[in-house]
Amino acid sequence: MTEQARAGGDCGSGTAAAATLALDDSNDASLLLDGLRFCAALMVCCGHAINLSGCAWTSIPIIGVMIFFVLSGFLIAHTLHVKSARPDYTLGDFLIERVARIYSAYLPAFLLIAATDLAMAWAGHPIATEPTGLRAFLGNLVMLQGYPGPLRLGVSTFGSGGHLTTVAAEFHIYLFVGALFFAVIARGRARAMAIACAFLASAMPLGYFLFVPGEASDRSLFVLWLMGFAAHAVASAFAVDRGTSLLGVGGGLALGVYWWLKRPVGNEYNIGCYPLFVLSFLLLVVGGRSLHFLSSSPRLAAAIRFLASWSFSLFLVHFSVEKVIFALCGRTLSAALAGIGLSCVLAMVFAQFTELRHKSLAVFLKRRLLPGHRLRPYRDAHDR
């Protein structure tokens, strides 16, 4: 559900050599992350279609969400590490970028979901399984679905958007962790503002962190996100040679297969499942730093970038699309395949007007909300 900040750096050979982690076209690491991002979205889409069809049940959507969260933690750590090196990069810049990245796709997708729910109800084929009242609508509009904080501000998910709880959780984590980061590195008034922001955004992340039940629950996802965040520091500390990189990628794939075979099906959110999962991810990233199999093929690299470019849109729109297909065509395997295909086509088109415009939206907001931003160049052209 999140973006890649790409930065330059030397990824030459060596062992245990501190180096800036480069997520660009100079190696395969960035393409591996992009591929994982698309795979995660497709897993959620396909898994939900299978489950909604009634033909079988699979925990693939859970694993897709887990990939999203470990990716998110890793890439936010990279964004903060690289961009905070610029003296003019502030908490305001970070918050605007996060809001633009999420809301550029989330807001139009949520409005589309609401309109679809109303249209299907009017046509006599209701698909909403959650409340559709004004309170739920407004709460979801401002990311309060599943909010455990004070004043009873939390609401359920809206209509057919039952999968959007994790989007709100991730959004609050962005604000909380980003603010804490700037509370550490900033000084004076900027530090005070960062502390205040972290306090205001703390309810959902800390609620997820402090009240993690033992059974399967997405409330443990903040722990996984933090492990992804920490994995960035480890990945940044090592630049390995080609031979070691091949071992790393091979080991990561083998460990991932082992985790898949040994995982407690349906209980993947259990914290005990996370260490091997994150280690597999980490080996892939470290190994990809010195490999060029993917990046050496412009067409293959472009294809992977393209698929990743609409992955968040696919996550947002697929659930309602599939419910519409099942409501109109019945719960069959062919309807599931049609729902997956239509979701992908719609997401590709939808992203062109929403998700892919987030950088322009960030520039627009910065120039109007941050004093002096109009006078300095926007240097985030390589953000994903």
Instruction: Give a yes or no: residue 27 inside a domain.
Output: no
Instruction: Give a yes or no: residue 16 inside a domain.
Output: no
pLDDT of residue 207: 81
DSSP 186: -
Rounded Cα distance, 45 and 39, in Å: 10
pLDDT of residue 220: 85
pLDDT of residue 212: 53
Q: Which domain holds residue 61?
A: 33-375
pLDDT of residue 279: 98
Burial of 376 (0-12, 13-18, 19+ CB in 10 A): exposed
Instruction: Give a yes or no: residue 224 inside a domain.
Output: yes
| Maximum distance among all Cα pairs of the chain, rounded to whole angstroms | 65
pLDDT of residue 242: 83
- Tens-digit pLDDT string for the chain (384 aa): 444 333 333 333 343 334 567 777 778 999 999 999 999 999 999 999 999 999 899 999 999 999 999 999 999 999 999 999 998 899 999 999 999 999 999 999 999 999 999 999 999 999 999 999 999 999 999 999 989 877 889 999 999 999 999 999 999 999 999 999 999 999 999 999 999 999 999 998 888 767 655 444 667 899 999 999 999 999 988 777 888 889 999 999 999 999 999 999 999 998 899 999 999 999 999 999 888 899 899 999 999 999 999 999 999 999 999 999 999 999 999 999 999 999 999 999 999 999 999 999 999 999 999 877 655 554 443 455
CA distances from 264 to 63, 260, 278 (A): 11, 9, 16
Q: Cβ distance 309 to 356 under 8 Å?
A: yes
Q: What are the structure tokens assigned to 62, written together?
A: 């859970």
Instruction: Give a yes or no: residue 9 inside a domain.
Output: no
Instruction: Give a yes or no: residue 39 inside a domain.
Output: yes
Instruction: Give a yes or no: residue 275 inside a domain.
Output: yes
Instruction: Give a yes or no: residue 268 inside a domain.
Output: yes
**Using a CB cutoff of 8 Å and minimum separation of 24, what contacts does 104-109 make?**
104/354, 104/355, 104/357, 104/358, 104/361, 105/312, 105/313, 105/316, 105/350, 105/351, 105/354, 105/355, 105/358, 106/167, 106/316, 107/141, 108/350, 108/353, 108/354, 109/313, 109/316, 109/317, 109/350, 109/354
pLDDT of residue 211: 62
Rounded Cα distance, 358 and 104, in Å: 6
Structural domain count, the chain? 1
pLDDT of residue 8: 36
